[in-house]
Amino acid sequence: MGDIEAPNSNRPRQNALLSVLPSKEFASSRKGMLLIAEVALSFVSFVCFAASTAAAFVTVPLLEFLAALFLLFAYSTKFNERFKGFMWPLMDFMRCVSASIIFFIISIISVSKYVDGSSKAAGIFGFIATIVFALDFYLIFNELAAFLKQGGGESNEEPSRQQDEISDSDSD
């Protein structure tokens, strides 16, 4: 009897672990790869800052790691589709803009002011994270601009049609 119960008890553990990990489709998408890179770079930068003399900067990589991890989980489990009240692309855009600016600033400070190796490594990983976050907010901006351009183009055509009809009726 113990042999029959043992495989069943292992199966839910595997399913629970797989449900936490991002799906293969999302992980291979452009957004998935960017979020995974942001999580990894923020975590490595956090570890480097924690081991360095520039430990005062450890908060920024930790917060960005947690925010990127949350959005990775939200996008991979389609959590964002269940909560329509949040402006997910705008929230992600603001996160990426603030992260790239702050990572750039603390990377410059850690590379120029501190002399230990882990501060320099944290600065280098911070510069790489700055590039990844900047690429992410550039792509999000292009998607938002295209979406707004489509929505704005349709609403602008309707008033001009109405005005044409009004001007035609006045000329008769």
Burial of 109 (0-12, 13-18, 19+ CB in 10 A): middle
pLDDT at 86: 76
Question: 73: which residues sit within 8 A by CB, 6+ positions away?
Answer: 20, 22, 79
Q: How high is the mean pLDDT in each 10-residue block of the chain (172 residues)?
A: 52 59 79 92 94 89 93 84 81 92 94 92 94 94 86 50 50 49
Q: With a threshold of 0.85, does the pTM exceed it?
A: no
The encoded tokens of residue 46 equal: 């956090």
